[in-house]
Amino acid sequence: MKNNISWRKYIPALIYVLLLLGCLAVVFLAGRFAGHRGGEETSAFGEETSSEAQEQKEESSAEQTKTEDDTKETSLGEDDSLDKSRGAWSGGKCIDQEMPSEDEREDESYVPPRVMLASDLHYISPDTHDNGAAFQRMVAQDDGKISQYSQALIDTLTEEAIRNRPSALVLTGDITLNGERENHLKLAEGLHRVTEEGIPVLVIPGNHDIKNKNAAEYFGEERTEAEYLETAQDFEEIYHEFGYDQAVSRDDFSLSYVYALDDAHWMMMLDTCQYEDRNHVDGRLKDQTLEWMDEMLAQAKEQGIEVLPVGHHNLLSESRLYTIECTMENHQDIIRVFENYELPLYVSGHLHAQRIKKHKAEPGAAADAYGVSEIVLPPYSIPPCQYGWVKWEEDGSMLFETRKADVAAWARDHGCQDEDLLEFDQYGPEFMNNVIREQVKKTFGTIPESLKDEMAALYSELYFDYCAGNRMNWDQVRTTKAYQLWERFAPDNRYVKNMSQMIEDVKQDLHDWKWTKGDLPGD
């Protein structure tokens, strides 16, 4: 009995020892498990592998992961989301990336967006003409479009976009000659070169692009009707990758949409065209589109987002020469919405003339009083083949300038042997002037041919400057021999009136514009 009692007094100590051994075993096994799952990997003999071997293994694993990721294509649907700590969306693919630390993000300098804008491309594919007699007749009767080099102009534009890398390339309508389906398809094919370089392309239609029964092809002596786009859906089907698929908002009643350049800047792409019943030259915004526009601008204002609206048709009366079918039918309603949200700028095309003008609420308003400004882009299809740049400054200011497409440089870079393209700065204006000059000469009566040439040359030179937005001076024009010939031989000719209207429209160069944030009331 005594021995049993003596033995029992050691039971607590034995239990403690067993528990201690069990804990040590758990710790040992956990360490072995962790060694295989992460940290340093161990060999079969219980020895740690070298750090160099481990690095090689990690690099091999990373390369394998990258190869697998590169073969996967993903799309962002309505319910899809992206954990920003793991990756970012680029070109329709989710690309894993290591997010910078907060300190690194603070060190990064924010660059506000800048956009490259072109209007009235009137693109015609080489597949729709043979440069023959019918085609040449069409060109001679046109307004100076250099259609025979339309492909070279588009290639120049896309390559300059790729080289200069804007936040977006924006095309503001009349992107094809007369809405030919083939021209739309070929243009979209060329625009893919830009998006493949990671540069967004945003498009809207112009009055030439949808339901245009003037669509044609030109081969030999024959002009034949061509298939054209019938509906807005036809347009979107071809161009859905150029703004529509990426839109943050779509108007249900038109081809209008909003595209976010970044968190603080939106492009509002407005479909100002009328094509449901037939093709209309003049434009307007539907009442439903106005309501959508108002809602989006209210949302942008609440979030502190700057909005640049863009459309094909004009907001203001910009020309004494072209007084019909340019300004939108309900432009006053649109102006009220824009000015309600104190927008600084609207950009358009359609007029085939470079213009800059600010809306005045009433006659006699002070020059520095607020009013929305409009920049009408020059026609890219007509020499000197200009396009525009708009950029935001860090202080919120906006700048605009025109640039001339360097077609000659494009020709040299591609080993082109065509002298007209290699000397395009000279050839382009001469070609355009010759087209207009020949049209003017046909309106003369019995005037000596040499005098006709001199008179028509003056008009064509003024018309060139008018389209380009180059300053003209009445006093200088009136003193020329050519104008005096006009007054003597053809004072009642309509082109005399046209000249005075053009000069009154362009009394200063219209290539630059600047707006500072403090120009708005209350800023």
- Tokens at 115, concatenated: 């956009």
What pLDDT is stored for residue 90 in this prediction? 29
Are residues 370 and 300 part of one domain?
yes
Are residues 445 and 379 part of one domain?
no
Query: What is d(CA 209, CA 178) in angstroms, rounded to the nearest whole number?
Result: 6
Query: What is d(CA 446, CA 251) in angstroms, rounded to the nearest whole number?
Result: 57
Q: 52-61, 108-117, 429-438: which has the minimum mean pLDDT?
A: 52-61
pLDDT level of residue 78 (50, 70, 90 thresholds): very low
| 101 in any annotated domain | no
Are residues 440 and 405 part of one domain?
no
* Average pLDDT of the segment spanning 265-292: 97
Contact criterion met (CB below 8 Å) for 292 and 253: yes
Are residues 501 and 515 part of one domain?
no
Are residues 498 and 374 part of one domain?
no
| 100 in any annotated domain | no
**Polymer length in residues for the chain:** 523
Predicted confidence (pLDDT) at residue 232 exceeds the cutoff of 70: yes
Query: What is d(CA 75, CA 91) in angstroms, rounded to the nearest whole number?
Result: 10
Q: Strand runs (DSSP E) across 140-221, as ranges?
A: 168-172, 201-204, 216-219
The mean pLDDT value of the chain amounts to 84
Predicted confidence (pLDDT) at residue 409 exceeds the cutoff of 60: yes
pLDDT digits (tens, 9 = 90+) for 374-399: 999 999 999 999 999 999 999 999 99
Query: What is d(CA 316, CA 294) in angstroms, rounded to the nearest whole number?
Result: 19
Contact criterion met (CB below 8 Å) for 123 and 189: no
pLDDT digits (tens, 9 = 90+) for 132-167: 999 999 999 999 999 999 999 999 999 999 999 999
Predicted confidence (pLDDT) at residue 519 exceeds the cutoff of 80: no
| 379 in any annotated domain | yes
Q: Percent of the chain scored above 70 by pLDDT?
A: 78
Predicted confidence (pLDDT) at residue 53 exceeds the cutoff of 50: no
User: Would you list the DSSP string of 13-71?
Assistant: HHHHHHHHHHHHHHHHHHHHHHHHHSSS-B-TTSPBPPHHHHHHHHHHHHHHHHHHHHT
Q: Where are the alpha helices (DSSP H) in 144-239?
A: 150-164, 181-195, 232-239
Are residues 154 and 35 part of one domain?
no
Predicted confidence (pLDDT) at residue 310 exceeds the cutoff of 80: yes
| 98 in any annotated domain | no
Contact criterion met (CB below 8 Å) for 476 and 499: no
DSSP state of 276: S
pLDDT level of residue 97 (50, 70, 90 thresholds): very low
The β-bridge partners of 123 are 176
Query: What is d(CA 115, CA 305) in angstroms, rounded to the nearest whole number?
Result: 16
CATH number assigned to the domain comprising residue 476: 1.10.246
- Tokens at 469, concatenated: 């937005």
| 70 in any annotated domain | no
Q: Does residue 7 or residue 426 have the better pLDDT?
A: 426
Are residues 353 and 245 part of one domain?
yes
| 448 in any annotated domain | yes
- Tokens at 219, concatenated: 């081969």
Are residues 436 and 335 part of one domain?
no
What pLDDT is stored for residue 153 in this prediction? 98
Q: Round the CA-based radius of gyration of the chain to a whole number and report it.
A: 33
Give backbone dihedrals phi and psi of 169, rounded to 5 degrees, phi first. -100, 120
pLDDT digits (tens, 9 = 90+) for 33-51: 344 333 333 333 233 333 3
Query: What is d(CA 354, CA 501) in angstroms, rounded to the nearest whole number?
Result: 15
pLDDT level of residue 446 (50, 70, 90 thresholds): confident
- Tokens at 196, concatenated: 């493949």
User: Would you list the DSSP string of 439-482?
Assistant: HHHTT--S--HHHHHHHHHHHHHHHHHHHHT----HHHHHTSHH
pLDDT digits (tens, 9 = 90+) for 15-33: 555 555 554 554 444 444 3
What pLDDT is stored for residue 399 in this prediction? 97
| 157 in any annotated domain | yes
User: Would you list the DSSP string of 215-228?
Assistant: -EEEETTEEEE--B
Are residues 120 and 248 part of one domain?
yes
Give backbone dihedrals phi and psi of 440, rounded to 5 degrees, phi first. -65, -40
CATH number assigned to the domain comprising residue 154: 3.60.21.10
Are residues 385 and 305 part of one domain?
yes
Structural domain that includes position 262: 114-414+511-519
pLDDT level of residue 518 (50, 70, 90 thresholds): low
What pLDDT is stored for residue 368 in this prediction? 82
Predicted confidence (pLDDT) at residue 9 exceeds the cutoff of 60: no
Q: Does residue 62 or residue 312 have the better pLDDT?
A: 312
DSSP state of 241: I
Contact criterion met (CB below 8 Å) for 259 and 267: yes
What pLDDT is stored for residue 517 in this prediction? 79
Is the sign of the CA dihedral 120, 125, 131, 135 positive or negative? Answer: negative
pLDDT level of residue 283 (50, 70, 90 thresholds): very high
Looking at 55, 83, 100, the residue that finishes a domain is 55
Task: Give the DSSP H/E element, type plus range, for residue 135.
Answer: helix 133-140
Number of domains in the chain: 3
| 108 in any annotated domain | no
Are residues 230 and 149 part of one domain?
yes
* Average pLDDT of the segment spanning 433-452: 93
**Which candidate, 345, 401, 334, places its Cα nearest to that of 371?**
345
What pLDDT is stored for residue 69 in this prediction? 42
Are residues 224 and 372 part of one domain?
yes
